[in-house]
Amino acid sequence: GMGWALLGVGLLLALYTLLRHGLRSAPRPRARPELRGRTAIVTGGSSGIGAATALELARCGARVILATRSAPRGEAAASRIRRETGNNEVLFMHLDLASLRSVRAFASTFLRQEPQLHLLINNAGVSAGGTTEDGFSLPFQVNHLGHFLLTQLLLERLRSCAPSRVVIVASSAHCAGRLRPERLGRPPSGLFSTFQDYCDSKLANVLHARELATREQGTQVTCYAVHPGFVNTSLFRHAPLWLQALLVPLAWLLFLEAAEGAQAVLDCATRDGLEPLSGRYFTHSGPRVPWPAGRDDRLARALWEGSERLLGLGTPGG
């Protein structure tokens, strides 16, 4: 509906900007540290930024788990990355963030099979509307709540392997986010509800990183929210046909951006000396101040407590 129309307009504006400023050349791949002996999880790692990020981590020698929903796509991406990098420690594990049962199953399988975890890259995202089997709005659950649960379930392991990092792929769309703690997880009403829901979930990403950093002070688990740029075409796979018709010709323009978006994510994952900036929001040009709601500590805390409540986590008084 209207949300897609608004998105269409936004994409046309983005296209206009791209063309007006000429196509930026692909970012020069930065020198990355040696990651042999380190284990990384990339959610939504079979396409777009996730796949580009996983490829680079594998190139640096990391053991990489592509945690994604589609087995055929996940297996194909893993074997492509193994082939391209010569690193055989790249594997697919099933994770559907639209199912909390699947998140729990993934975490218990991972913890049983993998002794280590140094990098958790919460990258998967959707922009479609709808409701999950758990009764939450789809973008809120996939983009925030499922990742929140995943992070909590893996936190002990991240602590025991510290120094370790959580990187949350957010978006500048958090600028339009509005979170009402008492309505958490319910789709917003109104004309642009799907678009609003997406923006709300991206604000949740920024606040999740902020509050996680606060709570993990002293543990050597650090956390970063990152806006990768206007990227990932597969984000729009549920878009109406007219919008897809607009997107397909754009794919070649946006393709550059997957590599570029991945650079921003990889910076947060691998750059030395970022620890003092834990909890901050980054773009490809470094740390940025998020929009006001994205630095509201009371809201960050309310989101955290609300998320725990929706998931039945957290002990009274703890």
Separation between Cα atoms, residue 78 and residue 89, nearest integer Å:
9
The helix/strand count (H/E) of the chain reads as 9, 8
Burial 157-186 (b: 16+ CB within 10 A, else e): bbeebeebbbbbbbbbbbebbebeeeebbe
Q: Which residues are catalytic?
A: 198
In terms of phi and psi (left: phi > 0; alpha: psi -120 to 50; beta: otherwise), the region of 164 is beta
Burial class (CB in 10 A: 0-12, 13-18, 19+), 188: middle
The phi, psi pair for 185, rounded to 5°, reads: 90, -5
Separation between Cα atoms, residue 45 and residue 64, nearest integer Å:
10
Copy the structure tokens of residue 43: 């959610």
CA angle (277, 212, 129) in 5-degree steps: 110
